[in-house]
Amino acid sequence: MRLILLGPPGAGKGTQAQMLKEKFRIPQISTGDILRQAVKDDTELGVQAKSFMDSGQLVPDDVVIGLIKARIKQVDCEAGFILDGFPRTIVQAEKLSETLTDMSLAIDVVVDLEVDADEVINRLTGRSTCPDCGTMFHEESRPPKVQGVCDGCGGSLAQRQDDNEETILKRLEVYQESTAPLKEFYKKGGNLKTVTARGSAEEIFSRVCEMVQ
Ligand code: AMP
């Protein structure tokens, strides 16, 4: 199964992608995670991406398209993959579709996670992530058993640098302008499914599963 998760920052794409990855045993491909790792490792890609990420802007299309083209050709993607945070512009969506067509493949389903802007701000400001295993927590809705410590691997939880109110507002603006038009793009293709991203991660996951199965 080849699946795209759409939705604004804070819609829960990362959490749902992790749950889908476990259920369907296919890789989660998060351009945000790949870019954050590159920043952490101080690679050429990281240096190129950092200022865009810190200011809530999109990293240039050709950079992320190159990343995805290489990633989906890897052997672990043969049975499918979950795209989390890609595509984010119409150009990215067009290039993805061209690449898949060249490989005689296609996207099976696009799940759009719908959530209100107020809810997004609350979710993102209260969120922390384990830098070691990627598990996400929230101070109200999904608190770790021990404050600041990952339940899964014991890593020290950290807040993302771009999860501050000013950058969140910029990210939401960029989402409206560049990414929201993808809903129309995929609606025309006939494989867009809309899911209300309200309630617990498990409740949202059961709605997502109904749509993809
Ligand atoms: P995310 O973890 O998906 O919220 O992404 C964090 C940041 O990485 C975004 O605010 C962008 O700066 C950058 N980024 C992630 N995915 C993309 C993409 N598909 N296109 C451009 N920039 C991206």
At 172 the pLDDT is 93
CA atoms of 137 and 151, how far apart (whole Å): 9
Domain boundaries, the chain: 2-115+178-212
Query: Can you list the alpha helix ranges (DSSP code H) found in the chain?
Result: 13-24, 31-40, 44-54, 61-72, 90-102, 117-125, 165-174, 181-189, 201-212
Q: Are the C-beta atoms of 195 and 113 separated by less than 8 Å?
A: yes
- Tens digit of pLDDT for each residue in 82-114? 999 999 999 999 999 999 999 999 999 999 999
Nearest CA to ligand 1 atom 19: 86
pTM of the full predicted structure? 0.92
At 70 the pLDDT is 94
**31 CB less than 6 Å from ligand 1?**
yes
Active-site residue numbers? Answer: 13, 88, 127, 160, 171
Which residues is 56 bridged to in the sheet?
A: none
Specify whether domain 2-115+178-212 bears CATH 3.40.50.300.
Answer: yes
CA of 193 to the centre of ligand 1 (A): 22
